[in-house]
């Protein structure tokens, strides 16, 4: 091949002897512009592969976000990512030239951005709130950057990909994650292009499973006072394997080896829709942000529950003072659920060697149990064949239960729906009876109708439908004791009552005392007083432990006061004195600091709060909540801190 140097015109006047020196300099001169283009791209590619934040999920799961706006779900048990997302417009290196990427991680209550019910939500005091999003740009052109944004959740990742030569146009994404157990396996996303953006892009979601399937989800949650609140929505779901095995061929025969993934658009009024192709979901992003939730769950019921909770978070709560709705706030969980007793269980076998797990539900206990997540000893029981409810007063009812897969969703048969729709008694907190979960024989475990591990088991593990963990005592018997061959019989004689069981029984009895007024009474707000409020240095908080029922509680209406309760009688505190705690919470329910914890006799006690969290760090200006808890009852006051 002829050398380029031989084609140089003679007018260069470069002597042949000097060309040996000139050639390397010329090559370096020609490469400088190329290196100037390649080096930033290589650096950008390296940055794209490095996560800027990791979300910690339960059960060995995690998620991480990269600077290009993508996210990945990982499992300790799988070599393959369970889910991967990306922006397919600005992630191409050829499109990324000149693109400016902004990203940061903040938490709700950050000093530069108050929100919710805070009196300081308008940080720059211009009469508007949240008009300067967290994107590194002076959007409201007031000479300040990101001074008036709304930080959301326990970990908010903000990413802004600006278009070349116009930083205000591009794509903006915000990931939200709450650490509370009922939401920590879900990641929220608010994604869209800027006003008039020409590169509005597509958000792509790929799962490791074979396909996404559209499904209608139904979930039941309780409000803070225990009333049922059902959510009904449409989501895309799929099943993924945790151990890279033959799960997809026989998903129902291997309990615990797979997960459900769910994706849902939280605003039903938006025209945004997914384009589905096997295991890929594409969502076109427009000018208006699209709110999404992406979650993982270990059962169909838990997936429904998380997606329903996500809709509640997006809807937010209403300020009782001015009736203003604030989105992206986790609603408080049911106080009756948190204080309800744990049902006892017994394990029987039937004539075919099948297992019958029975929960004895008493008033004040929660009977909303996840049928698919029971574990006895080292055995996951899997999916029951039937569920039977035998109320103390009422007719017996039975539902057939099936292992649900995406194939069932595809043919339209959602056989394993929500069993609580058939057992309406269990939706409240006053159900009484026996709830039976009937399982097939454990394949490869039982020999001659018995199993040493099951015989030795003393506990049953599981999950309530609201996501709370379940651990309860278990009564079992040998096949001879249980009468195998003679039909279903009761379990062996119960063991003597333990201290824990006695305490639980006492709590149930105490709950029954106030049964008739359960939905109409609350702890008196006069028992918790703080002054000065608002405050900027120290607030004194006085709480009172009442002696009588009349001092302790208030009723919504006089006719709600139960006639069978002596209002001048002593409050039935456990152990004679209540367990008392005084805690400070952020606007989204995050516990910041405990001011008092212990048993306390009747009378007044004063504590102080200096506006710091449990680590001694000064909190941001805004609204906080002080909660007084006495045994199973509580009262909350709003505090305003001004720095």
**Tokens encoding 437:** 């979960």
Give the E-state strand segments of 285-396 in sequence order: 290-297, 317-318, 325-326, 344-349, 355-361, 375-376, 379-380, 386-391
Per-residue model confidence (pLDDT) at position 499? 41
3-state SS class at 378: coil
Of 152, 142, 144, 145, the closest CA to residue 121 belongs to 152
What pLDDT is attached to residue 453?
Answer: 62
Residue 281 predicted with pLDDT over 70: yes
Lowest mean per-residue pLDDT among 120-129, 285-294, 477-486: 477-486
Percent of the chain clearing pLDDT 90 (strictly above): 23
Q: Is the pTM of this model over 0.85?
A: no
Residues 6+ apart with CB under 8 A from 196: 169, 287
Residue 91's pLDDT is 47
Strands (E), 319-468: 325-326, 344-349, 355-361, 375-376, 379-380, 386-391, 397-400, 433-439, 459-463
Beta bridge partner(s), residue 561 = none
| Range ranked top by mean pLDDT from 190-204, 267-281, 413-427 | 267-281
Give the sign of the dihedral formed by CA 406, CA 411, CA 413, CA 418: positive
Q: 183 phi and psi, to 5 degrees?
A: -135, 0
Query: CA 575, CA 565: separation in Å to the nearest integer?
Result: 20
The total number of residues shown for the chain amounts to 643
Q: Looking at residues 171-199, what average pLDDT do you find? A: 82
Cβ contact 350:513 at 8 Å: no
Place of tokens 């996501």: 467
Residues 517 and 561: beta-carbon distance below 8 Å: yes
| 507-535 pLDDT, tens digit each | 454 444 444 344 456 788 889 999 888 89
- State how far the Cα of 620 lies from the Cα of 422, in Å rounded to an integer: 48
The confidence score (pLDDT) of residue 305 equals 92
CA distance 266 to 312: 9
User: Which of 117-126, 216-225, 240-249, 395-404 has the highest mean predicted lDDT (pLDDT)?
Assistant: 395-404
Query: What are 92's two structure tokens?
Result: 């191409």
pLDDT at 27 over 50: no
- Are the beta carbons of 635 and 528 closer than 8 angstroms? yes
Q: What is the mean pLDDT of residues 152-174?
A: 80
Whole-angstrom distance, CA of residue 206 vs CA of residue 216: 20
Alpha-carbon distances of 214 from 108, 116, 238, 240, 281, rounded to whole Å: 33, 33, 9, 16, 11
Give residue 71's pLDDT: 95
Three-class DSSP category at 407:
helix
Two structure tokens written together for 272: 């945004």
Distances 398 to 301, 343, 355, 389 between C-alpha atoms, Å: 18, 20, 16, 6
Pairing of strands 355-361, 603-609: unpaired
Can you tell me whether residue 191 is helix, strand or coil? Answer: strand
Of 447 and 313, which is predicted with more confidence?
313
Q: Which candidate, 461, 456, 432, places its Cα nearest to that of 372?
A: 461
pLDDT tens digits, 523-576: 888 899 998 888 988 999 999 998 888 788 877 655 555 555 566 777 777 666
SS3 call for 291: strand
Closest CA to 74 of 242, 238, 213, 211: 242
Inform me whether the pLDDT recorded for 46 exceeds 60: no
* Cα–Cα–Cα angle for 134, 137, 143, rounded to 5 degrees: 115
Q: Mean pLDDT over residues 481-508, rounded?
A: 40
Per-residue pLDDT tens digits for 575-597: 667 889 999 998 877 889 999 98
Three-state SS letters, 503-572: HHHHHHHHHHHCHHHCCCEEECHHHEEEECCCECCCEEEEEEECCEHHHHEEECCHHHCCCCCCCCCECC
Element (H, E) at 596: strand 591-599
3-state secondary structure of 431: coil
The sheet with strand 166-177 has its strands ordered as 100-106, 155-163, 166-177, 186-193, 290-297, 258-265, 228-241, 213-222
- Quote the tokens at residue 430: 């006053």
Give the model confidence (pLDDT) of 427-470 as tens digits: 877 888 999 999 988 654 444 444 556 667 788 999 998 888 88
Residues 65 and 71 sit within 8 Å (Cβ to Cβ): yes
Instruction: Give the pLDDT confidence of 324-383 residue by residue, as tens digits.
Output: 778 888 888 787 777 777 888 998 887 777 889 999 998 878 888 999 999 988 888 888
| 222 or 480, higher pLDDT | 222
CA-wise closest residue to 172 among 115, 86, 103: 103
DSSP string, 138-182: -TT-SS-SS-S----SSEEEEEEEEETTEEEEEEEEEEEE--STT
């Amino acid at each position: 091949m002829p050398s380029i140097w031989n084609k140089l015109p003679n007018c260069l006047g470069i002597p042949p002897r000097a060309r040996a020196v000139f050639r390397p300099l010329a090559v370096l001169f020609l490469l400088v512009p190329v290196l100037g283009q390649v080096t930033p791209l290589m650096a950008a590619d390296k940055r794209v592969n490095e996560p800027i934040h990791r979300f910690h999920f339960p059960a060995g799961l995690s998620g991480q976000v990269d600077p290009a706006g993508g996210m990945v779900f990982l499992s300790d048990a799988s070599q393959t990512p369970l889910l991967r997302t990306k922006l397919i417009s600005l992630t191409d290196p050829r499109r990324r030239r000149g693109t400016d990427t902004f990203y940061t991680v903040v938490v709700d209550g950050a000093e530069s951005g108050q929100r919710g019910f805070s009196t300081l939500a308008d940080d720059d005091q211009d009469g508007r709130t949240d008009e300067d999003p967290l994107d590194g740009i002076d959007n409201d052109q007031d000479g300040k950057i990101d001074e008036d944004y709304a930080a959301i959740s326990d970990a908010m990742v903000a990413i802004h990909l600006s278009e070349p030569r116009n930083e205000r146009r591009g794509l903006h994404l915000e990931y939200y994650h709450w650490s509370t157990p009922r939401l920590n396996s879900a990641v929220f996303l608010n994604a869209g292009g800027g006003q008039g953006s020409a590169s509005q892009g597509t958000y792509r979601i790929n799962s490791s499973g074979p396909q996404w399937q559209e499904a209608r989800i139904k979930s039941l949650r309780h409000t803070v006072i225990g009333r049922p609140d059902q959510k009904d929505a449409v989501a895309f779901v799929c099943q993924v394997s945790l151990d890279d095995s033959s799960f997809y061929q026989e998903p129902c025969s291997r309990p615990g080896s797979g997960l459900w993934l769910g994706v849902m658009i939280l605003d039903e009024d938006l025209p945004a829709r997914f384009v589905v192709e096997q295991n890929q979901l594409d969502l076109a992003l427009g000018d208006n942000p699209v709110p999404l939730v992406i979650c993982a769950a270990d059962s169909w019921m838990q997936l429904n529950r998380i997606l329903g909770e996500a809709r509640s978070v997006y809807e937010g709560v209403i300020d009782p003072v001015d009736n203003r709705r604030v989105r992206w706030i986790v609603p408080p969980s049911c106080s009756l659920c948190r204080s309800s007793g744990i049902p006892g269980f017994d394990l029987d076998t039937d004539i075919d060697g099948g297992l019958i797990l029975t929960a004895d539900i008493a008033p004040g206990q929660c009977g909303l149990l996840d049928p698919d997540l029971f574990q006895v000893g080292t055995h996951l029981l899997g999916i029951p064949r039937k569920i039977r409810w035998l109320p103390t007063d009422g007719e017996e009812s039975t539902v057939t239960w099936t292992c649900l897969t995406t194939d069932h969703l595809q043919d339209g048969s959602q056989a394993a729906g929500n069993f609580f729709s058939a057992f309406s008694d269990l939706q409240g907190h006053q159900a009484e009876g026996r709830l039976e979960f009937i399982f097939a024989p454990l394949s490869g475990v039982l020999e001659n109708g018995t199993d040493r591990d099951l015989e030795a088991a003393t506990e049953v593990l599981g999950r309530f439908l609201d996501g709370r963990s379940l651990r309860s005592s278990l009564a079992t018997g040998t096949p001879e004791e249980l009468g195998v061959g003679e039909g279903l019989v009761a379990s062996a004689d119960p063991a003597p009552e333990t201290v824990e069981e006695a305490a639980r029984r006492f709590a149930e009895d105490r709950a029954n005392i106030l049964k008739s007024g359960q939905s109409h009474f609350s702890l008196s707000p006069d028992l918790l007083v703080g002054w000065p409020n608002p405050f900027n240095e120290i607030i004194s908080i006085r709480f009172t432990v009442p002696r009588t029922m009349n001092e302790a509680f208030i009723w919504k209406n006089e006719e709600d006061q139960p006639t069978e309760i002596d209002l001048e009688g002593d409050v039935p505190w456990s152990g004679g004195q209540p367990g008392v705690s005084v805690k400070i919470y952020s606007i989204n329910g995050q516990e910041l600091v405990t001011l008092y914890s212990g048993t306390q006799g009747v009378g007044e006690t004063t504590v102080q709060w200096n506006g710091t969290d449990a680590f001694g760090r000064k909190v941001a200006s805004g609204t906080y909540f002080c909660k007084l808890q006495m045994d199973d009852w509580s009262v909350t006051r709003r505090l305003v801190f001004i720095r």
